Structure 1
Amino acid sequence: MDAISVIRAKRDRAELTDDQIDWVIDAYTRGEVADEQMSSLAMAILLNGMNRKEIARWTAAMINSGERMDFSSLTRPTADKHSTGGVGDKITLPLAPLVAACGAAVPQLSGRGLGHTGGTLDKLEAIPGWRAQLSNAEMLDVLGSVGSVVCAAGAGLAPADKKLYALRDVTGTVESIPLIASSIMSKKIAEGTGSLVLDVKVGSGAFMKNLDDARELAATMVELGTDHGVRTTALLTNMATPLGLTAGNALEVRESVEVLAGGGPADVVELTLALAREMLDAAGLGDADPAKVLADGSAMDHWRRMIQAQGGDPDAPLPVAREQHVVNAAASGVLTTLDAYAVGLAAWRLGAGRARKEDPVQPGAGIELHAKPGDEIQAGQPLLTLHTDTPEKFASAIEALDGGVLIAPPGTPFTPAPIILDRIA
C-alpha cells in the first residue's frame, strides 16, 4: 500500500477500499504518510466526496487510532450533546447539570473557541479555579459522584483526527462534509457515550450557512452514530442571531447561571429544554421532566457540585472587563437583523476569542445585547454594550458590526424565525 495510489483512487472518483482507508489513517498517524500527501487526499475527498460505506470506515479507522473510553462501570445511562458551534452558544453549561439532575450521566468532552465561535472550555475557565484537564480516572470519578462532567478530550482519543483537523484548517479542506462528520463522530464514539444528540447550527453565525448543507451533515452524523451502535439524533437550530443576550466567556457563564436559577433568555431556555428532552429520550429516561427539574433548583445543585468537583468556586465573582462602550440605536423602529456572525466577529476582536489555538482569551471580553430581532426600539436606546480590557479594540469591533444591525420603520411586521428548524433521526 502507498499514499500515491490512495490519492489517485480518490482523485479519479473511485471508492476507497477498507484496506486503503485503514492503511492511510494508520500510516498518517504514525508519520509514514506526509502532511502534503494527506493534504492532497483531503482535497480529493472535498472535491469528489465519499459514500456512506467510506465515511463509516474512515470514522472507524480514526477511532481505532487511539483509545476508547469505557463507562460500563456507571450505574446511569450515558448521554452526550455536541454542537457544531455558534455565537452565544452557552447551552452546554445549563444542559449538562440539568440532564444529570434528571438521572443520566453526561460525559461532555468539549473544545475551545476559534475565530468568531465560542468554546465551552474557555467559558468555564472564566470561573476561578475551574480546570478543564482531567485524567480518565478523574473524569469517571466526577461522573460517578456528580453525574455530569465537562472537560477537555484527552490526547489518546482519536489522535488521527487531531492531526487531520489541524491539517484541514490550513489547507482549505475544512468544508468537506465527510471529513467534518467523521471528525466529530470519531471523537464522540471513542468517548464511549451510549447516546448522542447533535445540535447542528444553521445561519450566518454557524459553520453551515444553509439548511440543505446542515441537513446533509446532520444525516451523515446520525448514520455514523447508528452504524457504530450509538443512539443518535440531531436538531437543526437557528444561528442567524446570537443565542441569548451575551457573547463572551464570563458574560455567558453569568447568563447560564440565570437559566439554572429559573430565569434567563427565552431562547436559551427553549433550546436547553429541547436538547434535554432529546438526550433523556435517547438515554431511556423519557419520563423525566426537565422543565420541572430546572424550576425546582435541582439542576442548580448539580451545577454547583460539577464546578466544585473540577476545582471551581461557583460563588466567586466572575471576571469583569475593565472597559465598556455602549452602541446606541441610530433610529427608531423594529430591529429586524442582529447578525450572529457580525456579533461573533466583534466579540472576537474585543478579545473573547482567538485567532490561533495557542492564543489566550480575555475572560471578561464580549458583548451584551439589549434587544433582539422583533423588538421595538427608540433612537438613542442602548443596543449593545461592548466589554474589553483593551479599549483600543473598540473601533475594530464596531467596524465588524457594520451592516449587522438593521432597523426597519416603526410598525414593520416581523415574525422571528423558530429556534428549532428540523429534527433528524
Structure 2
Amino acid sequence: MTNIAYFTDQFEGLAATDSTSTIKELSKAAFDTFNQSGLPTYKLEEWKYTNISSLFDKNYQFSKEDSKENLSLAGLRALNLPGKNEANELYFIDGRFMPGLSKMISSEKELIILPLEEAAKGPYQKIVAEHLGSSSKYLKDGLHALNTAFIQDGVFIYLPKGQQLDAALYLHHINNANTENILSQPRSLVYLAENTNLQLVETYTTLGSMDSFSNEVIEIVLQENAFLAYYKLQNDGANAAQVSSTQIHQIGKSYVQTLTIALNGGVIRNNLNLILDAEGNETHLYGLSLLKGNSHVDHHTLVDNKQPNCFSNQLYKGIADDTATGVFSGRIIVQPDAQKTNAYQSSKNIILSERATINAKPQLEIFADDVKCSHGCTVGQLDEEAMFYLRARGLPLKTAESLLLQAFASDILNQIKLEPLRIHVEQLILDQLASS
C-alpha cells in the first residue's frame, strides 16, 4: 500500500471515532486540502531547496495507542536534559501526548496542561475554536494539512493570567523506530494570558534503527504583557527526518525570543512564523546550525508586522562540513498600517568543505513608508588572519579551527537564558567539533 492510500485508509478510520465538532470539522477540511495539494515538492518556490517528497518512498506507519508499552519509564527519564529536577516535563511518544509519563512541579493554578480533545470540550472551548488551525492561513502546504487532518492526542497548554512561571516546560518528542518506520504528528496549542512568563524547550529523540519522520505543528498565542522564551534543540540521528511548523501570534503587546539549535539529523525543515498583531510587539529570532555528514537543515522564517511601532531582529548562523546542506529563507512583511516598524535580519554562514552547501534567501516586503528595515547574508570560510594568529602561537590546526567556530557560535549560545540548557548545548557543540 502506498503512503497516500495508507493515509486515506487511516483517515477514514479516524473520522469514524468520536471527536468534538471543532476538531472533526477542522480535520475534514484539512484532509481535503491535503488531497488537493499533495506533498510539497522542490518545484514549489518555498520548497525549492528541500526535497521532502522523496522521503515518502518509504512505508511509514502511524503510531499506535499502545506505542509507549515497549518503552520503560526509566529509559525515558535517561533522555532528560540537565535541569530536569527544576522543570515541568511533557512526553510525546510517536507524536501522542502521554499525560501518565509527564511530570509537573508547578501547581494547576500556575500551569494548566490538558489533552487537546478535553480542552476543546471544556471551559477553554472558545480559545481552541479560535486559535487551533489558525496557522493554516500562513502555512498552506500539504504537510501542514496532513498534521491537522490527523489531530489526535494533542496537548493544550494554558498559562493563567499573572503567572510568572519560574520552572521551565520541557516537551520531549520521542519516536520509537525499533520495529518499523514511524510517522509521528505532534500537535500543541499554547496560550499565554496577560502578564505571564514561560520558558518552553522542545527536544527530539528517535530510538531504534528504522526511519522516523516527525511532522509537528505547534501554535502559540500571547496576550498583553506576556513573555515567551522558546528553545528548540534538534540533535537526533541520521535516520530521523523532521518538519517542524511553529506559529507564534502576538495578539497583545508582548515579548518573544526564539532560538533553534540544529546539530544532527537527516532532513530537517523548520517553519517559524511570527505574527506581530499588536502595537509595540517585540520579537527576537536566533538560530544556529552545525552540520556534518549528509545532514540537511532548512530554516524558513516569516515575520508579519501588522501593527505600528513593532521591533523584530533575526540572527541565524550556519556551519556546514562534509556534504551537508544548510538553507535560510527569511521573509519580513510590513503591512500598510505597520508604520514605525523596525525589522532586521542577518544570516551568517561558514563552509568548511568544498562539498558543503549553503543557500540563503533573505526577503523584504514593505508596504509602509515610515520604517527601518534591513537584511544581509554572508557565506564564507574561516578568517585566514585569525587562523594565522592562532597557529603562530603554537595551536594545532584543529584546535585553532575549533576556537574560531566556538567564537562564531557564541553570540547565539549566549542568548540561552536557561543555564543548564546553555551548558548542555555548549558541550554538545564541543563534542561535535572534536569529532569532526
TM normalised by structure 1 equals 0.26
Q: Which has the higher helix share?
A: 1
Q: Which has the higher strand share?
A: 2
TM normalised by structure 2 equals 0.25
